[in-house]
Amino acid sequence: MNVQTTSLSAISQQVQNGLRYMSGFGNSFETESLPGALPIGRNSPQKAAYGLYAEQLSGSPFTAPRSTNERSWLYRIRPSVKHGGRWTLLDKGLIRTAPCRDETKPSLGPLRWSPIPVPQEKLTFLTGLRTLTTAGDGDAQAGMAAHMVFVTASMEREYLFCADGELLVVAQEGKLRFFTEFGIIEIEPGEICVIPRGVVFRCELIDGPARAYVCENYGGGFTLPDRGPIGANCLANPRDFLTPVAAYEDIEEPSTLYAKWGGEIFSTPIGQSPLDVVAWHGNYAPYKYDLRHYSPVGAISFDHPDPSIFTVLTAPSETPGTANIDFVIFPERWMVAENTFRPPWYHRNIMSEFMGLIYGVYDAKPEGFTPGGFSLHNMMLPHGPDTQAFEHASTVELKPVKLTGTMAFMFETRFAQRVTGYAAGLPQLQENYADCWSGLKKRFDPNKPEAW
C-alpha cells in the first residue's frame, strides 16, 4: 500500500507548488488532500469526514478475479449523480467510433501521412480530437481508435469523460496538463498518460499549442506485458509509472460536463466543478510514464528479435498471447548485431500497425516519415524498410552504432483498421508512399551462390 498525504485545498495550489506523484504500476494507492479525509479500516462509513460523500468507481465487473479487479473509492464534495442529469446529444464533429464502415471503402496497401499542421482556430481537447482509424466494435468493447488531437485552448469550466474506452495520450508537440478526479498529470513530448474509462478530466495548455496522438482502447485496460525469459527487469519497469496525489476543486460556477458514450458526444450543464475528490484509495486511476525510461533489450550477437520486445503496455484479449492493443515504442538504443540486417525486416503480420513518430528519424524510413506524421500497415499487408534504408543497411560497415534522438511508436491491434473519411481526405496523405520500395532490385542469380 502506497500512502501519500497533501494539505492542498485546491488544484491550483498543487500546480503552483509543484506536482507530486506516487510511483508504481497497478498499486493500491491511498492519498488525501486533507488530513483524515480517508476512512480507516472501512470504505463507506455512516458519516464520512468533512461532510464528504463516499463513492466507488469500478473499472471491472465486481466479480473479476483479484488480479484483474479494478476499483477505487472516492471521497468527494458531491456524489457524481449531482454532476449532471439531463444530457443533450451534440454534433460529434470529426470523432468516430468502430464499427465505422460507411465513410470510406477499405484501403489496401501501405498508407502514410505527413504531419498535419496545428490549426489556428480555437480548439480544446474535445473539439480538437480527429479520428484517423477505427478497429473492432466499440459497443462490444473490442478494438480501438487512433486519433490525433490538436489543442490550442485550455478547457475552461468544461470537463470530459470517455465511457467508450480508456485514453492513452502520446504527447508529440507542446505540453499538456490534465486535471482529473484523482489529481493532476502533466506530459511533454516523450511522455504518455493513460486516463481510464469513465474518469472525468479537463485539459489545459502549459506553454502554447500542442499536438498529440491518442489511442482509445475499447477493451480491457492496459497492463504491463509479461517478460517471459527476460526475467524480472528491463522493458517498462513498474516503478517508473506515476499516479497523481489527490487534489480537488471546490468551485461553485456554471460549468459543462461532456461525455463520449456509445460513439456519440453528449453534454449536461452543472453548477460546480466535478473535480471535487478530496481523497481516494484503490487501483483504478490515471497515470503517466516517461518513454525515455524504457530499458530496451536486443540482440548482442546476431539476428533481429521480434518487435514485441519493445512493448510498453498491452491490453489483452480473451485469446492468450493475442492483444486487443499493444503499445510499442522504438527508442534510443545500441545496434551491435554481427552479420545481420539491422533495421526491421520485411514482414507481413496478423496484427495491424498504426505508427507515429514523436521526434527524430525512424531507421527503417529515413525519408518521408517525419515527426507528427503517421502510417498504417494493415493486417497481412507487406511492409518494411524503404530502398534507401535497405541499401544502407546491406552495405554499411557493421560496427556498434547508437540510435539517438529518436522515438517512434505503434498502436498495434488484432483487428483491421479502417481509415476515416477525415483521414482519407487529408492533403497530407502521401499518394506515392508505396514508391519508397520501387527501387528495390531483383538481385537473384542462380549462378552466384555467394552473397551479393
- The verdict on whether 281 is a catalytic residue reads no
Burial of 418 (0-12, 13-18, 19+ CB in 10 A): buried
Active-site entry in 281, 304, 347, 392: 304
**Grid cell digits, residue 314:** 498491452
Query: Do 248 and 37 contact (CB within 8 A), yes or no?
Result: no
CA dihedral 85, 88, 90, 96 (to 10 degrees): 50
Which residue is associated with the grid cell 497533501? 6
Provide DSSP, 338-382.
SSS--SPPPB--SSEEEEEEEES-BTTBTTT--TT-EEEE-TT--
Q: How far apart are CA 227 and CA 234, in angstroms?
A: 9
Type of residue found at 113? W
Non-local CB neighbours of 368 within 8 Å, separated by 6+ positions = 112, 114, 386, 430, 433, 436
Count Cα atoms within 13 angstroms, Cβ side, for 77. 19
Query: Do 415 and 142 contact (CB within 8 A), yes or no?
Result: yes
Non-local CB neighbours of 264 within 8 Å, separated by 6+ positions = 89, 90, 92
Q: How far apart are CA 156 and CA 153, in angstroms?
A: 9
Residue 293 marked as a ligand binder: no
In this structure, the strands spanning 374-377 and 111-113 are antiparallel
Residue 266, φ and ψ in degrees, nearest 5: -125, 160
Q: How far apart are CA 91 and CA 176, in angstroms?
A: 25
Residue ranges of the annotated binding site for homogentisate are: 383
Binding-site residue numbers are 383
Enumerate the active-site residues.
304
